[in-house]
Every structure is written in C-alpha cells, then in structure tokens.
Amino acid sequence: MAADLQPKASSSTSTYAGLGIPLILPAWAIIGFFLVLPVMMMLIYSFLTKEFRGGVIWEFSLAAYDQFFFDRGLFGDELPKIEWTYITIFWRSIWQAAAATLLCLVIGFPTAWFIATRTARNRSIWLFLVTIPYWVNLLIRTISMKFLIRDNGPMNELLMASGLISEPIHIINTNLAVQLGLFYSYLPFMVLPIYAAVERYNFALSEAAADLYASRTITLTQIILPTIKPGIIAGCILVFVPSLGAFLAPDLLGGAKNFMIGSLIEEQFKGAAGNWPFGAAASMILLSLVLLVLTLYARQQTREQG
C-alpha cells in the first residue's frame, strides 16, 4: 500500500517549483514536534530513575534496561542472571503475532486469489465486503469476538444445541482467542496487497506452464507464488507489525496468562506498576524490533528491484 505511493520521478511535476519546502513544512512541524520529539523524549526517559511509588527523577540510570535483561533476585542483591520474564513476553508476542499472520495468510490468500479472479465488476463488490468490517471500530470488533466465543456464548450454545459437541469449547483466555482477535483486527491488511499482486499476475504464464505439462501444484509453487511473493510479504508485514504491539486483543480476549508487549507497556503507565522508565525502555525495545523488521523488508525490496 505504501509502496504504491512512492514518489515516482515521472509523476513529479513542478507547477509549484520552489514552494516545496513551505508546503511540506506543516507536516514536518506537526509530525516532528508531536511524534519524533516525543519518541526522543521517551528514549531519554528510559534512562531516568524511577521514583518510589511512581514518577521519575531526572537522574541518569540504566535500571530500566537492567530490569529488562537481568534478574538480581527478590532483594536485588544477588549476582545478575539472565531475566527471562520480559524476553518471554516479547517472545510470546512475536510468536502470537506470527501465528496470527499465518492464520491471516491461510485464509486471506485464497480469499484474495478468489476476489482477484472475478470479473472487474464483481471484484469491487467482494473487496468492499472484505474491507467493511475493518472500518467498524476495532474495540467493537474485539468485543464482538469476545461475546461470540465465550464459554456460554452464542457459538458454543449453537454447537451444543446442534449436538456437535457436548461440552463448551473453551477458547476465551487462551492463545487461540488472542490469535483470533488479531486475525479479526488486521485481516484486510493481508488480503489487499495479495489481491493487488494477483490482479497484476499474467495468467498466460499459468497457461504456458500447463502447456508444458506442469501440474497445478507445480504451477502454484514454481510460477505463481514467486511472482506474487512481494504482495504476500507486504501483507505479512502489515499484519505482523501491528499485531506485535497490539493491546486490545490480548487485554480483552487473553486473560492474565497471555500478557503481551502491549499489556506490559500499558501496565507501566496506566496500571499499578507506575514504572515509567521501564515502560519507556520496553517501548524502545519494541520500536527497535519493528524498525528492524521494516528495514529488513525495505532492504529486501531494493535488492529485488535493483
């Protein structure tokens, strides 16, 4: 999606030559002052000292990062060991985001393929159908999912009434519930880029392969997938990155045992922990992780194009 709108040399004209800087200035000022500067401020905060019972003291300290990576025992006086707690939370978040991405891919790819192979008229209707739920408030979608999958919710009642199951399927407060929530939050991000790639795919290639006696599977894996790979990768990134820092799905669907990065950070600011430097450090680590993924992606893009 973003890649489509890279300024292309051909489309850049100069009707307003010389006005570029004054015209771009408001965007720079607002995003610079209210996003870039705050992120730098957050970096500074992650090196400050936590005050007893919340608040910060303007004194340099590595305590937040130390707490993240090292375990010094209950009384803080033991030799440092590796602290697995937060690494586990990050790992769980990565894992959950990856699982949600896979779920989106398994269901989103056939959907995108199906839509892209309709007639032009039907395509827009199908696309419209897939994107509509995305515009419904995320909070409301998450609540709806929670309502649906509760132990004694409509889904279980329907299944029990139909005699398919005798005991309710327990989904709420499990990993699966969080994955379903993330899937529901970000599915269109998977469908749209894949759709765009399939739409551009030249089916003459498939015909050529078929003429050369390639089976369906061979055609799919050897011809189609490599051609539309950029769309798939873009889709995966667009689902994976927001899933990593998601807050609502783990909070409302995950219960206590499925703490993810988003909840960990929130707890430091809105919850009882009140440890701002630690929350800032965790945010910095999350941000670095996301930027790493995006950089790898950008590098891979340029390598393929160049």
Partner 1 sequence: MKKLLKLGASALAITLAANAATAEGKLVIYNWFEYLPQELIDKFAAQENVEVTMDTFDSNEAMLASLKAGKMGTYDVAMPSDYMVDIMGDEGMLDTFDQEEMPNFSNIMDQWLNVSFDPGRNSSVPYQWGSTSFSVNRDAYKGDINTLAMIFNPPNEVKGKINVLDSQGEVLALGSMYLGIPQCSTDREELKALNNLMLEAKPHWASFGSDVAKDVLVSGDASVGMIWSGFGAKAREEGANIEYAFPKEGYVVWTDSIVLLKDAPNRANALKFMNFMLEPENAAALTNFAAYTAGVKGVEPFLSDTVANSPESNPPAEPIGELVMACPQEVQAVYDTIWTNLKK
Partner 2 sequence: MASKKVDLRRFPGFLPLTYLCLFLLYAPLVIVMIYSFNDSASITRWDSLSLRWYHDVFFGVEAPKFRAATINSITIALMAATSATIVAIMAATAMLRSGRFRGKSASFALINLPLMVPEIVTAVATLIFFSAIGFTAGYLTIVLAHIVFCIPFAYLPIAARMQGIEDVYEQAAQDLYATRFQAFRLVLLPLMTPGILSGFLLAFIISLDDFIITNFVKGAGIETLPTAIYGAVRQGIKPNIMAISTLLLVVSVVFVALSYFVGRMGEKNNDETSTKGDLI
Structure letter (DSSP) for residue 81: E
Q: Does 296 bind partner 2 (CB under 8 A)?
A: no
Q: Does 136 bind partner 2 (CB under 8 A)?
A: yes
- For 70, the 3-state DSSP assignment is strand
Cα(first)–Cα(last) distance of the chain, in Å?
20
Q: Which is nearer to partner 2, 71 or 247 (CB)?
A: 247
Q: Are strands 70-71 and 81-82 parallel, antiparallel or unpaired?
A: antiparallel
- For 6, the 3-state DSSP assignment is coil
> Which residue carries 């006086």 as its tokens?
77
Q: What minimum distance in Å lies between the beta carbon of 89 and partner 2?
A: 13
Q: Does 54 bind partner 2 (CB under 8 A)?
A: no
Positions that interact with partner 1 (CB under 8 A)? 33, 37, 51-55, 58, 74-76, 85-86, 88-89, 150-152, 172-173, 255-257, 259, 267, 269-274, 276
Report the DSSP beta bridge partners of residue 56.
50
Q: Which is nearer to partner 2, 77 or 167 (CB)?
A: 167
Number of residues written out for the chain: 306
The one among 165, 291, 292, 296 contacting partner 2 by CB under 8 A: 291
Q: Which is nearer to partner 2, 12 or 82 (CB)?
A: 12
> Which of partner 1, partner 2, none binds 267 (CB below 5-8 Å, type-dependent)?
partner 1
Q: Are 105 and 235 in contact (CB under 8 A)?
A: yes
Best CA proximity match to 108, nearest among 97, 96, 120, 116: 116
Structure letter (DSSP) for residue 247: -
Q: Does 166 bind partner 2 (CB under 8 A)?
A: no
Restricted to residues 186-245, the positions that interact with partner 2 (CB under 8 A) are 187-188, 191-192, 196, 203, 206-207, 210, 216, 219-220, 241-242, 244-245
Best CA proximity match to 236, nearest among 171, 174, 175, 296: 296
Q: Does 42 bind partner 2 (CB under 8 A)?
A: yes
> Which of partner 2, partner 1, none binds 143 (CB below 5-8 Å, type-dependent)?
partner 2
Q: What minimum distance in Å lies between the beta carbon of 280 and partner 1?
A: 12
DSSP string, 20-37: HHHHHHHHHHHHIIIIIH
> Which of partner 2, partner 1, none binds 52 (CB below 5-8 Å, type-dependent)?
partner 1
